[in-house]
Structure 1
């Protein structure tokens, strides 16, 4: 499976550019993302350290300090490369099965510090939100 990370100024611009990836909503004229192949509103960020935060029960814990990248992000899954998605909005193309990055607008060093949330299950990219086991 090939995944495309696209960046737009906002969701309205993405909807206008990608009408084929939407379905009819309940309300007349309303369009919704086809979540069988789309993850809308993906958060792209870098972690700039940690800070102490109150846990609401009198204690503290360390939480990440995130620097969110500007723009509105969407991930689109395709069974093979789709030249129609490889335009100006395309930030990254990845092969989900191998974890290979097929195209990116940044350097490998910069990509290594990038996190995306959420991503498709089964992704094995060198980026993306770290998966941590739940703690008791």
Structure 2
């Protein structure tokens, strides 16, 4: 997927945190530690540095959800991170994002920390960020 397509799909999926721009995706994709996984209507961007992986973002078109796409991307992420030498993976998710939290819990991620009032919505409200960890 091109950076413009990634940004367009990301904008369909996120308002808080704000969606990423095509330029931000292009910069990440040009970075050697980053890797992109795709499904029709979805993508996952991750990176591995030393023995740690980070799931940077996961987006599935709202019209294509509940079809297993995110779960498949999560499984591919774990496999790709291990293949790149990662032993542990991290991600952060908004505490109020119940569907994402359920997906992550179902795929073995556990809470490792909380960043209070980390996310700021356009309406001025805030939400905590949960830091999750997965042993690969």
**Greater strand content:** 1
Scaled by the length of structure 2, the TM-score of the pair is 0.31
TM-score by length of 1: 0.31
More helix by share: 2
Which structure has the bigger radius of gyration?
Answer: 1
Instruction: Report 1 or 2 for greater relative contact order, CA contacts < 8 Å, sequence distance ≥ 6.
Output: 1
